[in-house]
Structures are given as structure tokens and as C-alpha cells.
A = this chain, B = another copy of it.
């Protein structure tokens, strides 16, 4: 079976070998074997596990929680429900993040127009009259 060095894997995932050792130290990679000289030897299954770790990370999951998932994986079929529930939670979390980014984008797009208009007329004062005057604590566009 083909195996990979820490540097090969690091390059592939666009991280440093340091980071991979850090993940290992934090218990994210329990199945990695060592060579006779004590070096880490990455199998295909370790690379697949890293792909899932990357996904969980970019969903905003902290490393300590990812560790729990990795532990569940080692425990086998008895933890299938926990793992399923975890991915459902991740789905909800990513959906919420997408919604927040959408709202943020709306403000940013408004500001782009705002500054375009200001630049056209050479001064921000052009917006002085068009400003909607309502109670500031109800005017939250976020």
C-alpha cells in the first residue's frame, strides 16, 4: 500500500509539517503509524480522515470537538448515531453562517453604492439629506 511522508501530506493540504504534528499531538490522527526511525507514515485512510477534518474545521468546529468525532470513529458502529447527529448540527451551523454572510453582504453592497455616489459628487455630504431618520435602536440593518 502506498504511504506518504509528513511533508508530502503537508504540501498537499497546503499546511506545514508542524501543523500536522500539532494535529497528531491533539489526538486528531490516532491511526498514524511510525517507521523504524520513528517517523510518521501516512496511509490513504489517514489522508481521507484529514479531508474530513478540514471540512469540519472550515465549518467552524473547534479542534477539541473534532477530536471527539475522531474518537467516535475509532469506537465503531456503536457511535453511528452520534456522528450522524454531529453532521446534522454542522449542517445547521453552516446554514446559519451562510445567512449571516448574506446579511453582511447586503450592508457591504449598500456601502459600495454609498461611496460610489459620494465619489461621483466628490463629497460625502451628498448623503446628508437622503438619510432616513428613524429611532436608531430600531434601525439595525444586520
A residues apposed to B, CB below 8 Å? 4, 8, 12, 44, 47-48, 51-52, 54-55, 58-59, 76-77, 80-81, 83-84, 87-88, 90-91, 94-95, 97-98, 100-105, 107-109, 111-112, 115-116, 118-119, 122-125, 136-137, 139-142
On whether the beta carbons of B104 and A58 are closer than 8 Å, the reply is: yes
Q: How far is the CA of A101 from the CA of B104 in the complex (A)?
A: 15
The 10 A-B pairs at the shortest CB distance, nearest first, are namely: A84-B115, A55-B107, A44-B136, A47-B136, A87-B111, A58-B104, A77-B123, A87-B112, A90-B108, A59-B104
Do residues B115 and A55 form an inter-chain contact, with CB atoms below 8 A? no
Known: A47-B137, A55-B142, A98-B105. 8 other contacts (CB 8 A): A51-B140, A52-B111, A55-B111, A58-B100, A80-B123, A87-B111, A87-B115, A90-B108
